[in-house]
A and B are shown apart, each in its own frame.
Chain A
């Protein structure tokens, strides 16, 4: 069976849903643009987002196409193994709530570098934070752009390059004109659409089984080529170190993703920040449970001999499209069109959040606070942010073209690994450890960042598969298992050996920082 089964029957409904979404979001962008004058409006929507709205927006930012299409596809292909990813992506959230969210809101205004540089030397610390944020944003963006290009090509028969350029253009319009307000609403709308679409698929899958999950699993075991094995750990487990390293990256990387951290500055206070994590965790957890049902539904409805595609590996467009095929089976062409548009909206929303975070690292940290040393007008800073958005948009399109053949989930996994090895250690130590100094944060942070990048290149995925060497010097696909502890160790070491007068003053300043961080006084 070829791609003709999915396409072009889906064409018009997908195009109509897609145009509706784009029309609505552009209207919101226009509305937001009229209100976006100040830097506070541009970066954090005037800090007027409610906890519930922010919870939805965080969920919208986090439930990327990689997780919707990717996890259902992993479950479809391997059953249980997909659960390891779902769980890993979720457990980062409690950590964000317990250790990061409230303190972040109390100490910062626009970027997480505000928090890290609170009592440290602005120039070097912000330069480090901006550099490592940009690396994370670039990996993450690349993954999303590749997903967008592949999805558009499959659904609309659109040329890959054209699809990537279209995503880049739309995202530039949202972010450059509408700033955080437009980005937030794009994410909220997308989260609602995605949750509704995924709920419908899951319900439609469960209905014939009388909503008995056990019966669904029993049927899936019968339909899948690996039978009972799909309900137990399987393929991934041949490389336990890989799984452990990925687990570390997923768990701690979430607390180091600049676009996620930035969302906590859009609410009024620490109380709203904490509420937003609770809502977000609930939505995201619910969503991951749904992707699991969707994956098993795909095994039953697509994988068996009676399924429309015949065999379990015969999906045109690859495994990643399993959720879309399933949407068509349970809801017809109209529903497929809706889900396709939702999948696309998902990518747009995530890409917009990433771009805004990357742009603020450039304009707020590098331009306004490092280059201009705080002596710049608000207008100039917003203008710089808008220019940075345009630059990042062009870069995102180029990345989409460059990484065309890379695995989406791998790129996103790398973004998490880098975030867990650079941003996260520096951020958490700046909040909790009196002894942290500028030298420790900057040298140690850069060591973590460099180690994460170098070990990725030396690992099997790049060294062996891309560069064509025989064996990789570093055995793991993901670097976090070494680079994250190394970052903590380096930050500690270069802080404790720092005996400069500046370092003494920085340790002194911890008390005042802690009072503000714990009580919100002055925030």
Chain B
């Protein structure tokens, strides 16, 4: 994957630079040499202090007069041994030595200069150790000590501080540090590494600005050409960059990707082409990439491309083969096949493909797969099989569509007790399911007479001919909500019944796994209601127009919801709302936005 490559490169460079930086760092932390300034100040020579300050300011534009200039203590005697320890980086040893000297010589104090530098070195060490455990927020707080542009003289430290800012929502400060490095440091490797750090951490617009800054410094940045193109391509994919990538630049990257051994550059070319709907180009590059690295993410891109090219079966084969290492592939396989099985008029599916799909559904305990197989069986007049699948769908995700299919299948099989239990369990929640218990002709699901399941003989046999006949026309007064005689309308044998409201279905049966001994249960109340209460976000129940009332909801609500909150559109500003507003071109299954579209052909 491209990010791996980027990281590796940065890692290598950074490691090399670390070694350089550490050697330099010891000298660099001494910063501006204020020895003379402090000497004159200690002597009280004001004019000489002013002259020296002007000289230092000229040489170091960011330098300012130390606040403690007139109050600082000078060394009390020779501090040479202490500075030796400091230079050796042995801060613990140095602190021990100071403590020893103080106990041997009460009243002795190290110079302010030494104390300041010890403190600074300790801060440096703390920051670097916190970086190792990714404590970015803490580092960002600690780094306040360094002032606006951070510890630029110590590049290694500056990079870490910039990274901490970038990772804690303080990107402008991170950018300022990188800019300061590029302004003040001339080492070419440092400059390159700074841009690469910025690529990994900052928005592309900031990276472009820094890249310009680096080039204006007369540095040859051509070695970063590929890295910059890669970053620009990724920015397009992240929708951070609107402008197209220069054709010649893209061609150069494609040449690089062709010559490369790794899959990542080819994969990036492919993802960009897919994003821009150049599907044949994407297909070609995904195929190149997958031969180089058996990466499940590349396989996912390949499957998506095939899907958008209309090669659904090929897409499913790829997704099936790569389902184990990447859940997105399993989901793509399950959902595209489900779409196929639940089309209004599904084409016959070969038995071996169907069997394979059934196995994946069972292995992954997929509610999507189970409901699709349920509908496919139902539409094939195999109602007992349909019930078996819908029982699983109801166990794994009892959505209205699955429960409806479940109830319909039970009804077909005249498994009355199970049907009644199911319909009553979802009273108050799923209007279409409850509608199955009524005879007024509006809520019933009537199948077309050409459906082979509904040949007249069959219909007479299971006694549903009257209820499902096309000829039955709803009576106008009932359709418009006049109160009828409830007893005549309700299948009283099935509804309402008092049933347990907890869904007991589990697949596989947990009894097989039960540990036994540790299972205990708190007191469970057990009262069974006959009258449903209002559920927040649910529309009216079908029987309400006959005058039946519901009990108030848990929050006191007495009125039904105008529209179902189960199908509530996502809020403005979410990714889903944006995708619904502008669906990507060529997406096969844009029905995602319709969520459970129950397309009941009546």
Q: Do A and B come from one complex?
A: no
Write the residues of chain A forming the contact surface with B, with a CB cutoff of 8 angstroms.
Answer: none
Write the residues of chain B forming the contact surface with A, with a CB cutoff of 8 angstroms.
Answer: none
